[in-house]
Structure 1
Amino acid sequence: MTVETPPLAWVTPLPTGRTLRLGLERVRYEVVGYFRQTDTVFFTFLFPVLMLTIFSTAFSSQTFGPPGEELTAAAYYLPAMVAAGILLSGLQNLGVDIAMERSDGTLKRLGGTPLPVVSYFIGKLGQVFVTATLQAALIIAISALVFQVPLPTDGESWLTFGWVFVLGVTTSAVLGIAISALPRSGRSATAVIIPIALVLQFISGVYLAFSILPSWLQSVANVFPLRWMASGMRAAFLPASFESGEPGGTWALMTGALVMIAWLVLGLIVCRLTFRWIRKDG
């Protein structure tokens, strides 16, 4: 006979200060654990840096953009790689990581401790913010120092970068927690989640210019947040003249914000309905 555990431990009232303190302690634990996993560091932390290097080298003889304002491949691909890094740090990393923790019994053991789910989530979200921030800083630094990419000098561009980054990281992290319920086992987690992240990158203007994709594929990509993260990052890093190359001739930042917020809310709902310390059928 299978006994179903309560879906969420956060239903038990706990002092807010203690919940936050435990969450911050989990952030440190999660960050240290993250950088101890060589495969995770490569495929989520260093992968965008590697792809930026490959594209910048492979297309070093080409320029991108309107006549008179052409950019190098490194400058053109920089915003896309920052957006891809956000997706990998949040959706892919957390999705696989939590599915593995559920499969190997880590979540079951945590369910037997006083640790509330809210603190666990704070730890995961904090880890994504720390690693995504370090990753973005590394990508931008390599672009500027190695590939001589000129960075924005006006506050408005950096403000755009800031809110797109924070909203993108939060949305990707929450979706990573939500999608972790999809794999039936830890072994299948990478096979289920990585292809989803890879397809989203190809249809969202990360590796291929969004404007060259078929209109029906653009419509599909418009539903998902990565397309708008990439567009927002292009708005932050690329000259204003590149805006005309976007669908509709605009960065559509407000639309992008609404799409990301909608996915954030949906992800929170899915997390609330599906997250358990152990699987319901376990």
Structure 2
Amino acid sequence: MSESTLTRPNTTQPVPALPRGRGIRLGMKRIGYEIKTYFRVGDQVFFTFLFPVVMLSIFAAAFSASGNVGTNPDGTGGITQGAYFLPGMIAAGILLSGVQNLAVDIATEKSDGTLKRLGGSPLPVISYFIGKMGQVFVTSLAQIALLLLVARVVFSIELPTEPELWARFAWLYLLGIVTSAVLGIALSALPRTGKSATAVVIPIVLVLQFISGVYLMFTMLPEWLQNIASIFPLKWLAQGMRSVFLPESFASLEQNGSWELGWVALVLLIWCVVGLVLCRFTFRWIRKDS
């Protein structure tokens, strides 16, 4: 939908078109507003921003007595429990920042009339989504920085030093966060009210985390559950992040014995396209049945 064709909800009166480029400038200004709003909601900050950090701390502390993961037959080598769970928590954080954050936030704004008011204003659709996407990028990067800081300082987890691994992390992050964000926008059409948004979205996200190798070693799951998880993007994003943060020898522990980075990119791209298509057909300033 272009800026010039945007119409007010339930009317045919067009909203006055803004000068060219104004929509992008308004969107950039909305990023700051969206970030401030995000950090003012305590439960949202905990369950999206701090949750992966809390879970990493719990897993690293609770399983520390279990010894290292991937040790040699003589008991040497391997990595700590915290180091093993770190990439999964990063992947889960990306999912929470995009899917859970935007799905609940937009569903609430539909329910309380915020989107209806914005839809009746000159604010272009592109400005609204630039604000949302910018908020997701900023908060997810801050979350990852906090995760890595806690991992390194508190749990003495060794981080990658090779530039190629950080380059791999960069494209995995960008593809993962964009995919998660568009899926979150699409999923926001599912809750019927703002009050039911968390009850609808959080269980979906939580189940995906348990079956995608975030809280459990993926190969510990039954084969049929592994196959189901492989349909969804979180399994592949977590696998890609393990290829960045875990030693190369750990590739043999994956479902097919390798990192399969080509499949990681392909599945994430497919879900990104699916999310964009769903957004095109499901996003409205107001609920269709309201």
Aligned residue for 1:157? Answer: 165
Determine which of 128, 143, 152 is the counterpart of 1:144: 152
Determine which of 57, 64, 68 is the counterpart of 1:63: 68
Contact 2:16–2:122 under 8 Å retained in 1: no
* CA distance in 1: counterparts of 2:20 and 2:263, whole angstroms: 34
Aligned residue for 1:18? Answer: 22
Contact 1:66–1:242 under 8 Å retained in 2: no
* CA distance in 2: counterparts of 1:185 and 1:249, whole angstroms: 44
* CA distance in 1: counterparts of 2:257 and 2:237, whole angstroms: 17
Aligned residue for 1:120? Answer: 128
Alignment of 1:271 onto 2:275 = no
1:250/1:187 CA distance change after superposition, 3 Å: same
**Aligned to 1:249, what secondary structure does the other structure show?**
coil
Q: Which runs of 5+ in 1 are unaligned?
A: none
* CA distance in 2: counterparts of 1:101 and 1:36, whole angstroms: 15
Aligned residue for 2:55? Answer: 51
Alignment of 1:186 onto 2:194 = yes
Task: Give the % identical residues.
Answer: 61
* CA distance in 2: counterparts of 1:119 and 1:12, whole angstroms: 15
Give the letter for the 1:120 counterpart: Y
Aligned residue for 2:42? Answer: 38
Contact 1:4–1:280 under 8 Å retained in 2: no
Q: Which runs of 5+ in 2 are unaligned?
A: 1-7
* CA distance in 2: counterparts of 1:54 and 1:111, whole angstroms: 43
**Aligned to 2:256, what secondary structure does the other structure show?**
helix
* CA distance in 2: counterparts of 1:97 and 1:73, whole angstroms: 34
Residue deviations 1:122-161 (CA, integer Å, cap 9, x gap): 1111101000000000000100011000010101111111
Residue deviations 1:234-276 (CA, integer Å, cap 9, x gap): 0000000000101111111110111111111111111111111
Alignment of 1:72 onto 2:76 = no
Kindly indicate whether structure 1 or structure 2 has the higher relative contact order, using CA contacts under 8 Å at least 6 residues apart: 1
1:217/1:15 CA distance change after superposition, 3 Å: farther
* CA distance in 2: counterparts of 1:76 and 1:240, whole angstroms: 13
Alignment of 1:97 onto 2:102 = no
Shift of 1:4: 6.8
Shift of 1:63: 1.2
* CA distance in 1: counterparts of 2:244 and 2:71, whole angstroms: 17
TM-score normalised by the chain length of structure 1: 0.95
Aligned residue for 2:224? Answer: 216
Contact 2:9–2:119 under 8 Å retained in 1: no
TM-score normalised by the chain length of structure 2: 0.92
Contact 1:89–1:128 under 8 Å retained in 2: yes
- The 4+ residue runs of structure 1 with deviation greater than 6 A are none
Contact 2:9–2:120 under 8 Å retained in 1: no
Contact 2:9–2:285 under 8 Å retained in 1: no
**Aligned to 2:158, what secondary structure does the other structure show?**
coil
* CA distance in 2: counterparts of 1:66 and 1:171, whole angstroms: 35
Give the letter for the 2:239 counterpart: S
Shift of 1:5: 3.7
Give the letter for the 2:37 counterpart: G
Contact 1:5–1:280 under 8 Å retained in 2: no
**Aligned to 2:203, what secondary structure does the other structure show?**
helix
Give the letter for the 1:184 counterpart: R
Task: After TM superposition, list the pairs within 5 Å mapping 1:164-175 onto structure 2.
Answer: 164-175=172-183
How many residues align? The count is: 278
Give the letter for the 1:156 counterpart: E
